[in-house]
Structure 1
Amino acid sequence: MSELELSILRARSIEALKQKARRGELFLTVAIGYVKSGRNRVEKDPDLRIREAIDLVFRRFDELQSIRQVHLWLRREGIMLPAVNYTRAADRAIVWKLPVYNTVHHILTNPIYAGAYAFGRTCSKVTIEAGRKRILRGIRRDRADWEVLLIDHHEGYLSWHDFERNQRLITDNATSKGLVPRGALRRGELLLGGLLRCGHCGRKLHVSYSGSNGNTGRYHCRGAQVNHGTDPCIGFGSLRVDQAVSAEVLQRLQPLGMEAAIKAIETSTVQAGEKRRHVELALEQARYEAAHARRQYDAVDPDNRPVAGELERRWNAALVAVRERQDELDALDRHKPEALGEEERRSLLRMGADLELAWHHGNATATTRKRIIRAVIREIVVAIEDDHIKMLVHWQGGDHTALSVRKNKAGHHRWGAPPDIEDLIRALARQLPDRAIASLLNRLGKTTGRLNGWTQSRVCTFRNQHDIAVYKKDERSERGEYTLQETAAKLGLRTMTVLRMIRAGDLKAEQYCKGTPWIIRHEDIEQLDIQHQSGRSGHSPLSQSQDQQIQLFQ
């Protein structure tokens, strides 16, 4: 047969395979969790243990949203996944073993589990090296370049919509794969890692930690500096930015708080039984294999010792496996977590009604907060204008929200008191001593930069740091200023009478903010018509109505 004829036959054979693939009938191998039904169809594996193991992988990915985290959880819990072992004795044998990363990755990225038939996901590339042909196989193609993709081809373990969502999450988890992916969740307390993009150069912002304990976080744009040796672009602390974005997220999610609390209660109940269900199915499978090994042993001639000895060994191994699965199930029952009590349920519902309480709860980890933020925010474009950090939040649904956060000045730190505290203490220092200022600040609910209450020494330290002069005795009287009590004593009136005069506008007075002392100037007191005000505060005139009678008491 000539080379031309061989080439024609090869081309026709390949085209016949492609035609069969276009009809969705070509199955060279079948993924775990499926079996061939006839020659041209596939269906779910009838083995319940296999189906539930595959479902468990997808449920865990919905919760953890990371292939690596799913893999680590399966290894940590000791949950085995099925794998195909092709042997000569059995064409397709199922073995159970602890999964490796590639096994979990294959399950979560294979479209067959979404009920789709795909062909041509990989291709080959021919190159010439040192004068010889070299073929590189297994090069992955983009989905748009697949030769065949038939959706709703067979029954799947998840919908095609959920499969596409999972692929977007996996793509976003890729680190150092361009400017678009956000990257996987990293360790640390900063909440916006991977979400911030520089509004000046368009690069993603990096995260860094410093300080004596390594707990002081910063966001900074260093792409141009690392790649081109230029100056750094922007950088700022994380505290105020994280707080502003968290507050905005909580405001958006508040209507969904109760629904999330109810789902958390249901999830806690489901998770407690997932591993037990997996072990129960493994025990059932082990018992079947032990019974099958016993039937094989009973069917053999006892005098045929070479065969009987091997079957006896298999039976003993199957019985040991049954014992191990039973011990594992008993251990789970002994260490079974207690169901949520009524008080815990009420606590969850209370936190669901108040998401801010749940957000700052001691058991809420930074990882949980990051997952919540990533679930609702796609990206945040940030730029620095003057002394403010301007942020444009791009939500997952397509909405946009502009936020602005004041940036610390050079030399300042995150533990500085709010700007309004300095103005308030500067005004109060001209009216009250440090001890009275501390008492007033505590009544107003003001705290220091470290969220502590105010004391006389803290007020004194704050004044010295901000060059605020100390209050001197009789300082107000020298300026001709009086408090509410001093004005009442000077006029010979009650304090409430003077306060009513101020509220009525008859007496001019100043108050820096609600709760601070009223200050009345000397010239305003001199201009006040005391007799007129006293007349207003006297008895009301008698009624002129003829229907009313006057009773005289002796």
Structure 2
Amino acid sequence: MDHVGLVLGIEMSRLARSGKDWYQLIELCALSGAVLADLDGIYDPGDYNDRLLLGLKGTISEAELHLIKQRMRNGRINKARRGELSFALPSGYLRRPSGEVVFDPDEQVQSVIRLIFAQFERIGTLHGVLRYLVANGIQLGIRLREGPDKGTLEWRRPNRMTLQTLLHNPAYAGIYAYGRRRADPRRQDPARPSTGRVVQARDEWLVMIPDVLPAYITVTQFEANEAKLAANRARADATGSVRNGPALAAGLIFCVIVRYHTQRSRAVPEYVCSREATNYGAAHNCQLLNAACVDAFVEGQVLAALAPAAVEVSLRAADQVVAERAELERLWSQRLERAAYEADRARRCYHLAEPENRLVVRQLEKDWESALAHQQKLREEHARFTRTSPRTLTAAERHTITALAGDIAGLWHAPTTTINDRKEIVRAIVDKVIVTVSGTSERVQASIVWAGGATTCGELVRPVQRLDQLSYYPAMIGRIRELAAQGIGASGIADRLAAEGYRPAKGGDRITATTVRDLMRRLGCPAGRVHRHRPAPAGEEPGPDERWLKHLAAELQMTTSTLYAWINRGWITARRESCWPHRLIAHADQRELAELRERRARPPGWYSRRLWTEDDNTSAEPNP
């Protein structure tokens, strides 16, 4: 620092436009005793008046820089508002020397762009369109924007990012847009000026002028594509795209309690609303119901809604298949035409060269052979495509398509109709399905909100875990008592209950005699018929504190299967008689009976999970 005495600059305002650099230079000069000089004079940063003047010059220069930037930005915006600001055009467009934007003159480029939009409208997912393009060997035509081959058309394989940019670009709907993405300084990498751009909502665009550019699709179709892409995102407030899984109405179920879409359980087909438990720490899920009952209701209503349209569908189905095959055939003919042109061009270049100039002729010969090989490869691929997908439908194929389309139910349950196809059909006509579970019972109120706004309501029956959750459990218990008092056995009572419409808790056609017998034992009802008890072998009779296992179960009001589990766990001591039927005799004195009753009173799951208590020293009874 002591070696510099004068800092000379022709135009100090250039440096002063950065306040940080300017004041750092002033501070260094003041510390070292150096002076600053420009065409206007010499300044001593250590002097108060000179330092004040230098600071004023720096402030004015920095403000001037911001004014220049502001004027340039306003100029760009004003030019964009007139629709005259040029920007990089997407694939499928070209800019003439006059500045006019036109379609790409290559017909194949236009056909591929239109095919992408048509397939997205039909398939509905970005990845589905990508798979379709890859399966049919369709590539995208890209014009190079820079380099020595600027403007040359290259064919590249499709990728997800290119398709996403294409579907989101409003230029394809004829909209001139400016300000769709803005730079966020917090996200910007200083080494990469183009980073940190944030996509803005449509109402926040700086400029949006419709009907300026030639359009591949309408504005209505563009808005529908935007809405579809937004709905395909895997978020709680969106239906999401169609995914694999057996649940038919996945993404459409709407919980009426928290006003949010439910989630689908991955382990079993269930619809679960866990928003209250996840976000607010509730002890239980808001609602949970088996997917089978809801899917059956939705399926029946959808088939009933589609039945009147069966004739129209049958008439249009074959035409759609023919139109799709014709579009693919047109793309193939364009690819073959391009390959023939490239081969002919290579041939003409070869014949125009001097035969003696082998340095050039050898390369032209290789180019010609490569073009011919590519042409032959395309011909073979086209032949395979024609064999697998003929250009026209035969009379038998047309009759089959018409018959299947006319039978909506048969087409729905056909082996060739996948679960994803069914989901697409449901989402095309159903907006959402609102469900409300009546407490912990089996009753579920369901409402289908159709795409047109109409609503169809119905009551469903879901499987539950226990019989006491059934809404008609008190009436069923009373009926069992009444029939048991008449001396009717368990099988007869089960038949009566089935005839009167009583159903088991976990689904099924009827309540079994075993379930009725268990209920009768719990209720203390007479068995209906007397079973003679087979005596034990001599010397093996139950002792004073011993009981037959079924007698112990009746005394504890439990099932014998639970007592078997307790014996296996070592909670009950039992022995087995030596001869058939090898019944169990359990030992249970008064103290053990009290312990067993205490175990019986504990809630379900007490021994299958770890209990957390406020006192760390207190733990649940260990599971032996």
TM-score under structure 1 normalisation? 0.70
What's the offset of the Cα at 1:202? 2.6
Per the alignment, residue 234 of structure 1 pairs with: 287
What's the offset of the Cα at 1:33? 0.7
Per the alignment, residue 68 of structure 1 pairs with: 127
Residues 124 and 139, structure 1, Cα contact 8 Å, conserved in 2: yes
Per the alignment, residue 193 of structure 1 pairs with: 250
Residues 121 and 147, structure 1, Cα contact 8 Å, conserved in 2: yes
Q: Tell me which of 364, 377, 384 is aligned to 2:437.
A: 384
Q: Tell me which of 259, 277, 286 is aligned to 1:202.
A: 259
Q: Which range moves more in the overlay, 1-10 or 82-91?
A: 1-10
Q: Which range moves more in the overlay, 292-301 or 123-132?
A: 123-132
Q: For the pair shown, which has the larger CA radius of gyration, 1 or 2?
A: 2
Per the alignment, residue 482 of structure 1 pairs with: none
Superposed counterparts of 1:126-525, under 5 Å: 126-127=185-186, 136-176=195-235, 179-210=236-267, 216-231=268-283, 232-337=285-390, 340-342=393-395, 344-386=397-439, 387=441, 388-411=443-466, 462-466=512-516
Cα deviation, 1:408-434, whole Å, max 9, x if unaligned, reads: 33247xxxxxxxxxx9xx99x999xx9
Residues 279 and 328, structure 1, Cα contact 8 Å, conserved in 2: no
Per the alignment, residue 475 of structure 2 pairs with: none
Query: How far apart, in 2, do the equivalents of 1:87 and 1:38 lie?
Result: 16
Q: What secondary structure does 1:392 align onto?
A: strand
Q: What secondary structure does 1:391 align onto?
A: strand
Report the AA paired with residue 64 of structure 1: I
Per the alignment, residue 58 of structure 1 pairs with: 117
Per the alignment, residue 56 of structure 2 pairs with: none
Report the AA paired with residue 210 of structure 2: I
Q: Tell me which of 152, 160, 163 is aligned to 1:104.
A: 163
Report the AA paired with residue 372 of structure 1: I
What's the offset of the Cα at 1:302? 3.6
Q: What secondary structure does 1:25 align onto?
A: coil
Query: How far apart, in 2, do the equivalents of 1:34 and 1:80 lie?
Result: 17
What's the offset of the Cα at 1:403? 2.5
Q: What secondary structure does 1:78 align onto?
A: coil
Residues 126 and 134, structure 1, Cα contact 8 Å, conserved in 2: no
The structure-2 alpha-carbon separation of the partners of 1:130 and 1:347, relative to structure 1 and needing over 3 Å to count, comes to: closer
Q: Tell me which of 79, 102, 109 is aligned to 1:43.
A: 102
Query: How far apart, in 1, do the equivalents of 2:323 and 2:365 lie?
Result: 40
Equivalent residues, number: 445
Cα deviation, 1:227-248, whole Å, max 9, x if unaligned, reads: 4443222101011111111222
Q: What secondary structure does 1:250 align onto?
A: helix
Query: How far apart, in 2, do the equivalents of 1:308 and 1:9 lie?
Result: 58
Cα deviation, 1:199-253, whole Å, max 9, x if unaligned, reads: 122332111244xxxxx41111122333444322210101111111122222223
Per the alignment, residue 23 of structure 1 pairs with: 82
Residues 205 and 219, structure 1, Cα contact 8 Å, conserved in 2: yes
Per the alignment, residue 138 of structure 2 pairs with: 79
Query: How far apart, in 1, do the equivalents of 2:169 and 2:424 lie?
Result: 24
The structure-2 alpha-carbon separation of the partners of 1:376 and 1:23, relative to structure 1 and needing over 3 Å to count, comes to: same
Query: How far apart, in 2, do the equivalents of 1:131 and 1:149 lie?
Result: 30
TM-score under structure 2 normalisation? 0.63
Cα deviation, 1:322-344, whole Å, max 9, x if unaligned, reads: 12211211222333359655455
Superposed counterparts of 1:523-542, under 5 Å: none
What's the offset of the Cα at 1:72? 1.8
The structure-2 alpha-carbon separation of the partners of 1:25 and 1:298, relative to structure 1 and needing over 3 Å to count, comes to: farther
What's the offset of the Cα at 1:359? 2.1
Residues 127 and 133, structure 1, Cα contact 8 Å, conserved in 2: no
Query: How far apart, in 1, do the equivalents of 2:416 and 2:191 lie?
Result: 62
Per the alignment, residue 14 of structure 1 pairs with: 73
Q: What secondary structure does 1:126 align onto?
A: coil
What's the offset of the Cα at 1:394? 2.4
Residues 126 and 133, structure 1, Cα contact 8 Å, conserved in 2: no
Residues 242 and 420, structure 2, Cα contact 8 Å, conserved in 1: yes
The structure-2 alpha-carbon separation of the partners of 1:466 and 1:278, relative to structure 1 and needing over 3 Å to count, comes to: farther
Residues 389 and 406, structure 1, Cα contact 8 Å, conserved in 2: yes
The structure-2 alpha-carbon separation of the partners of 1:72 and 1:143, relative to structure 1 and needing over 3 Å to count, comes to: same
Q: What secondary structure does 2:183 align onto?
A: strand
Residues 448 and 455, structure 2, Cα contact 8 Å, conserved in 1: yes
Cα deviation, 1:109-151, whole Å, max 9, x if unaligned, reads: 1111112111111111224999999885421111111111111
Residues 126 and 135, structure 1, Cα contact 8 Å, conserved in 2: no
Residues 119 and 149, structure 1, Cα contact 8 Å, conserved in 2: yes
Query: How far apart, in 2, do the equivalents of 1:175 and 1:321 lie?
Result: 42
Consecutive unaligned residues of structure 2, counting only runs of 5 or more, are 1-10, 15-60, 468-478, 499-503, 521-525, 530-624
Q: What secondary structure does 1:96 align onto?
A: strand
Residues 117 and 150, structure 1, Cα contact 8 Å, conserved in 2: yes
Residues 180 and 202, structure 2, Cα contact 8 Å, conserved in 1: yes
The structure-2 alpha-carbon separation of the partners of 1:19 and 1:463, relative to structure 1 and needing over 3 Å to count, comes to: same
Residues 126 and 136, structure 1, Cα contact 8 Å, conserved in 2: no
What's the offset of the Cα at 1:25? 2.5
Q: What secondary structure does 2:184 align onto?
A: strand
What's the offset of the Cα at 1:351? 4.4
The structure-2 alpha-carbon separation of the partners of 1:449 and 1:64, relative to structure 1 and needing over 3 Å to count, comes to: farther
Q: What secondary structure does 2:119 align onto?
A: helix
The structure-2 alpha-carbon separation of the partners of 1:354 and 1:466, relative to structure 1 and needing over 3 Å to count, comes to: farther
Report the AA paired with residue 179 of structure 2: G
Query: How far apart, in 2, do the equivalents of 1:93 and 1:347 lie?
Result: 47
What's the offset of the Cα at 1:161? 0.6
Report the AA paired with residue 307 of structure 2: Q
RMSD: 4.1
Residues 199 and 382, structure 1, Cα contact 8 Å, conserved in 2: yes
Cα deviation, 1:173-213, whole Å, max 9, x if unaligned, reads: 0013xx32111111111111111122122332111244xxx
The structure-2 alpha-carbon separation of the partners of 1:8 and 1:293, relative to structure 1 and needing over 3 Å to count, comes to: farther
Larger relative contact order (CA 8 Å, sep ≥ 6): 1
The structure-2 alpha-carbon separation of the partners of 1:234 and 1:328, relative to structure 1 and needing over 3 Å to count, comes to: same
Report the AA paired with residue 276 of structure 2: A
Query: How far apart, in 1, do the equivalents of 2:304 and 2:387 lie?
Result: 43
Report the AA paired with residue 447 of structure 2: L
Report the AA paired with residue 239 of structure 2: R
Cα deviation, 1:15-35, whole Å, max 9, x if unaligned, reads: 333222212222221111111
Query: How far apart, in 2, do the equivalents of 1:170 and 1:186 lie?
Result: 14
Report the AA paired with residue 464 of structure 2: K
Report the AA paired with residue 207 of structure 1: R
